């Protein structure tokens, strides 16, 4: 099977991850591991998860995001989930899935703004 790799991009003090379309459970685990190692390496202040290409979100995915958010918080960063599709949001709200302490944003731009604003206020 083609092993699609996931990249964690560092932008100044923020990490950006684009979650691919239809991520499998392995992919989600990989995401968590990669994000946490990057947090350790760069001591980033924020993480943006761009999920705009994700069409289906299951409870495992939601829980992992929620857990990852908590872990990132423990390591000193804020997490923003950006670009959720309307259909995904409806299903998630109806199923009662939630993303824990993750913040949400319409797109990566507003997620960046949000993190910058938050960091400026925190200092």
Partner 1 sequence: MTYAASNYITVFDKWDDQKTFFCFTPEDAKRLSDFHPFAEKHVDEVVDGLYAHLLKFEEAQMFLDDAETLRRLKIAQRRYFLELTSGCYEEEYYENRIKVGVTHQRMGIPPRLYMGAYSYYLQLMIPLIYQYLGDDLEKANTTFSAMYKIINLDQELAMSAYIHAVEDVISKQTEEILEMSTPVIQVWEGVVATPIIGTLDSQRAQQFMEHLLEKIVESKSPIALIDITGVPQIDTATAQHLIDTINAVKLLGSKVIITGIRPAIAQTLVHLGINLQGIITKPSMSAGLKVALEMLAVGNTGFNKTN
Tokens of residue 88, six digits: 């995904």
Candidates 15-23, 24-32, 33-41, 109-117: pick the segment binding partner 1 (CB under 8 A): 109-117
Neighbours of 110 (CB within 10 A): 14
Shortest distance (Å) from residue 49 CB to partner 1: 11
Tokens of residue 97, six digits: 């899935």
Single out the residue of 27, 73, 104, 119 in contact with partner 1 (rule: CB under 8 A).
Answer: 104
Of 73, 7, 65, the closest CA to residue 46 belongs to: 73
Q: Do residues 35 and 64 make contact, with C-beta atoms less than 8 angstroms apart?
A: no
CB under 8 Å to 100, separation ≥6 — which residues?
A: 65, 66, 67, 69, 70
Of the two residues 1 and 123, which places its CB atom closer to partner 1 in the complex?
123
13 contributes a contact to partner 1 by CB under 8 A: no
Single out the residue of 1, 7, 86, 123 in contact with partner 1 (rule: CB under 8 A).
Answer: 86
Single out the residue of 72, 107, 119, 122 in contact with partner 1 (rule: CB under 8 A).
Answer: 107
Binding site for partner 1 (CB under 8 A): 80-90, 92-94, 98-107, 110-111, 113-114, 117-118
């Amino acid at each position: 099977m083609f092993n699609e790799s996931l990249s964690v991009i560092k932008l100044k003090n923020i990490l950006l991850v684009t979650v691919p379309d239809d991520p499998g459970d392995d992919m989600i685990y990989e995401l968590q591991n990669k994000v946490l190692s990057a947090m350790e390496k760069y001591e980033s202040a924020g993480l943006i998860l761009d999920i705009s290409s994700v069409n289906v979100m299951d409870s495992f995915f939601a829980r992992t995001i929620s857990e990852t958010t908590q872990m990132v918080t423990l390591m000193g960063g804020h997490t923003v989930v950006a670009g959720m599709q309307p259909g995904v949001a409806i299903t998630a709200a109806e199923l009662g899935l939630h993303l824990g302490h993750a913040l949400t944003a319409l797109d990566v731009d507003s997620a960046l703004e949000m993190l910058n604003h938050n960091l400026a206020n925190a200092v």
